[in-house]
Structure 1
């Protein structure tokens, strides 16, 4: 990932994460993008050069970007030997072509190559497409948060 790609991705990531948090009822809309950006920057204080972070760019056979992924080699809650997938995204125009599955496989391989034995992630409950991908890729639910509007 180039520096320009990184900066564009950081903004898009913050906007999407903020939308997800607002939709899930976890954050108010006001200030959500700024909050998301602050959280991301706190985890990536040195940008692309932040130690123990993998920032992967997915490209097609022609070398055209199709998506990206962000993996922390140290779990945010300290789980030993477990990496954490903070983000995986395929461009809207390239979805439905098996590229998400291919990118996820590449993430898993990079995680194994880094010496870790497991990969964990969070997925919003309304993201049925992602849940289906993770289910079919062998991921299991280890914790679940639920909410009911009253």
Structure 2
């Protein structure tokens, strides 16, 4: 495995952006946060707010995860303050999951974060995503707050 992070180019960003909006809308619906009729609109608005200049938005670092020449996923780190970063998204494309790419990419993004002067990285994980939750715990991430809900 020869994992490296390459800065996302405009074509890769457009492909990611289309996927990400649909995926974010679906995750919000699965979590019970948004209704189907509003999910795509809200997801588009959120991405427009977070990435107004696309892959060139200041303090945002969008990378394509590669194993040699093969694209296996993507990861997005943002610098929220001088010292704090946040991983908005990490995706390992279907067919590449379960092979250790996510773990390696998370380690690589820590190196990027240190280079830009960050001392901590936060992230969000949906409660239903047990695989991601387990990975983040193994990498040393700790829970800082938990929202819980009961359907009636």
Superposition TM-score tier, normalisation by shorter sequence: over 0.9
For 2:145 and 2:84, locate their aligned partners in 1 and report how far apart those are by CA, in whole Å.
15
Residue 56 (structure 1) shift = 1.0
Residue 34 (structure 1) shift = 2.3
The number of residue pairs the alignment matches comes to 145
For 2:53 and 2:21, locate their aligned partners in 1 and report how far apart those are by CA, in whole Å.
17
Q: Normalising by the residue count of structure 2, what TM-score does the alignment of the two structures yield?
A: 0.92
Larger relative strand fraction = 2
Q: Which residue of 2 aligns with 1:30?
A: 37
User: For residues 1-150 of structure 1, what are the structure 2 equivalents within 5 Å?
Assistant: 1-61=8-68, 63-74=69-80, 81-150=83-152
Divergent runs of 4+, >6 A: none
- Stretches of structure 2 that go unaligned for 5 or more consecutive residues are 1-7
Cα contact 1:84–1:121 (8 A) shared by 2: yes
Higher RCO (CA-CA < 8 Å; seq separation 6+):
2
**RMSD between aligned residues:** 1.1
- Stretches of structure 1 that go unaligned for 5 or more consecutive residues are none
For residues 49-103 of structure 1, give each alpha carbon's deviation from its aligned partner in whole angstroms, at most 9, with x where no partner exists: 1110000110012x1111111111016xxxx621011000101110111000011
